[in-house]
Structure 1
Amino acid sequence: MELRQLRYFEVVASTLNFSRAAERLHIAQPPLSRQIQQLEEELGVSLLDRSSRPLKLTNAGSFFYDQTVQVLARLKEIQKATRRIGAGSTRWMGIGFVPSILYGFLPNVLKRFTTENENLDISLSELTSVQQAEALKAGRIDVGFGRLAIQDEGLHNIVLVEEPMLVAIPAHSPLAGEAVIPLRRLVDEVLVLYPASPRPSFADQVLHQFSVRGYEVGKVYETNGLQTAIGLVAAGMGVTIVPESVQRLKRDDVTYRPLLERGLTSPLIMTIRVGDSSAHVARFRAMIDAALATSESPGG
């Protein structure tokens, strides 16, 4: 699959007319048609319903068009950032994060760091802890914030805080009337876990808390996102366990309660490459340390 084919398909899909697309691309219509056909052959699906008048996208074509637009837009951003960095006007810094950190102190630190370092081109990527480890080793990010320490000789894991875990339950659940919930009370509830993949993940941290106490979890729903997990709880589909700071995600149909057992915590971990002496990473870490020194609670 060639980048040229993606660009050709984007124009054809947006115009739904080969003649107009060819004019916009400044090429003849026959070679444009051949490129789209070759793309379809490589994918093994039809992207366009050519029997329709006017031309229509197939279901697969609609999906591929949406993804193509996103890929090409991202490529344009990469090109612009690369030119700025190459010209010496900015430096680049990649940061990976898991969604649950967005409810603690880190977003405010990041906002301040961005404001005070306007010469830095900062890229944010939502990644699981496992994905962050891979991205760090590949140089796609410089700093990762996750809930799981991935052991690798090339990575340095720094535990910033240990957040107590809470249980999120439907507001109409009988459990909502209790001030504190013992973990054993949850074994008969449907447990919503996230992320489902890749593993290991926060889901395994949660399951570990049950297994070390000899509790056998019953029915489980797995989802890849915190927001989806909370949505399922709100719909009365089950309960989920979250870091304490997530209770700032307030909803009328969800209630958060502390767990009875001591030591039920989830670490917030900052991961960097071993030996990374970059000045901007050092400044970022110093700002985080200062924020932690003045924060009033583990979640910020």
Structure 2
Amino acid sequence: MEIRLLRYFWTIADLGTISAAANQLHITQPTLSRQLQGLEAQLGTPLFVRHPKHLELTQAGAFLKSRAAEILTLTHQTEQEFAAQKQHLFSGHIRIGCVAADNSDTMAMLLEELVHDYPAVTYNIITGASDLIEEQLDRGLLDVAVLLEPVAAQKYHTLTLPRTEQWGLLVAKQSQLAHKSTIQPTDLADLPLMLSQRPAVQNMLKKWRGETIKPPRIIGTFNLIFNVLPLIEANLGAALSIQGITSEINPETLNFIPLVPDIKTRCILVWRKNRVLTPVVTEYIRRFKTAFGTKKAQD
């Protein structure tokens, strides 16, 4: 016997009419009448005596009402207990590292969902350069991290996030390049350039411009693009960056110009191999896999 049918029956018995019960249950009277007839057929006995303006419980109906009240009360209490356990039993702390990129909001969105479902969970978010995030991840100071490609696959489990990050130059409005819609390798010849200190990024740029093009003049390196924004605004040089951070810059002083041929990379969720994960961290990773597909996860 379904709990739903017991609830329908108990409401009819409590209010005394099909119409009042249907109104309270937010279903139509014909639907409720069919449900009651089906229940009586299932039990093999009438549950009500039908009068013109009300229903009267039969002896079997009175017996079922008392049992239904017990069952429905127990069901409600059980549901409440499970809800309370969901809110309080699943607790813990998660430490997340994240680079400044367009995919950063993905990290925040799934964390918001996790905390909504489990309010006892607490968290710490560290934003920084990939090298800093990787170092803290390797030292066990972070549980998971969102990094830009490439990453050391031999050290980490990885899950590739769907959105790509477009690379380009950040230049001052008064720069000679500011009027351009794209940046080609020849535009970098002898250009004063600020570049990420990550060897992977430097090698990516070298491969993109080729060996035959005169290289830019590397006037400085940085770990976070925000540290050099005042230097770019002063037109001391341009900086290689990703488009995902441009929402944080002042469009009145800086232009982002994409590279052509395109350089596009992705962000990757990573966590250390051979490390025991807490239930909170495991649940957070599971939500990424559910959202973006386990086929993209690599062990």
**TM-score, length-scaled by structure 1:** 0.57
Work out whether residues 109 and 288 of structure 1, in 8 Å CA contact, stay in contact via their aligned partners in 2: yes
**SS of structure 2 residue aligned to 1:247:** helix
1:240 aligned partner: 239
Work out whether residues 101 and 165 of structure 2, in 8 Å CA contact, stay in contact via their aligned partners in 1: no
Distance 1:250 1:116, change over 3 A: farther
Alignment of 1:97 with 2:98, yes or no, is yes
1:39 aligned partner: none
**SS of structure 1 residue aligned to 2:181:** coil
CA distance in 1 between partners of 2:267 and 2:104 (Å): 12
User: Could you tell me how far 1:266 is from its partner in structure 2?
Assistant: 2.6
Distance 1:289 1:266, change over 3 A: same
2:170 aligned partner: 168
* Aligned AA (1:173): S
* Aligned AA (2:120): N
Work out whether residues 100 and 245 of structure 2, in 8 Å CA contact, stay in contact via their aligned partners in 1: no
CA distance in 2 between partners of 1:148 and 1:249 (Å): 21
Distance 1:224 1:181, change over 3 A: same
Work out whether residues 99 and 128 of structure 2, in 8 Å CA contact, stay in contact via their aligned partners in 1: yes
Distance 1:104 1:185, change over 3 A: farther
- Report which stretch shifted further, 171-180 or 214-223: 214-223
- List gaps (5 residues or longer) in structure 1: 1-87, 294-300
2:273 aligned partner: 274
**SS of structure 1 residue aligned to 2:146:** strand
Work out whether residues 182 and 259 of structure 1, in 8 Å CA contact, stay in contact via their aligned partners in 2: yes
Structure 1 vs Structure 2 CA RMSD:
3.2
**SS of structure 2 residue aligned to 1:221:** strand
**SS of structure 1 residue aligned to 2:190:** coil
1:253 aligned partner: 253
CA distance in 2 between partners of 1:165 and 1:139 (Å): 30
| Greater radius of gyration (CA) | 2
User: Could you tell me how far 1:254 is from its partner in structure 2?
Assistant: 0.2
- List gaps (5 residues or longer) in structure 2: 1-88, 294-299
Q: How does 1:53-68 map to 2 (within 5 A)?
A: none
Alignment of 1:141 with 2:142, yes or no, is yes
Distance 1:271 1:183, change over 3 A: same
User: Could you tell me how far 1:212 is from its partner in structure 2?
Assistant: 6.3
1:188 aligned partner: 190
Distance 1:154 1:218, change over 3 A: closer
CA distance in 2 between partners of 1:237 and 1:135 (Å): 33
Distance 1:273 1:224, change over 3 A: closer
**SS of structure 2 residue aligned to 1:175:** coil
Distance 1:134 1:180, change over 3 A: closer
Q: Deviation string for 1:124-143 (max 9, x for gaps)?
A: 22343334334333322110
**SS of structure 1 residue aligned to 2:215:** coil
CA distance in 1 between partners of 2:243 and 2:219 (Å): 21
CA distance in 1 between partners of 2:249 and 2:135 (Å): 33
User: Could you tell me how far 1:258 is from its partner in structure 2?
Assistant: 1.9
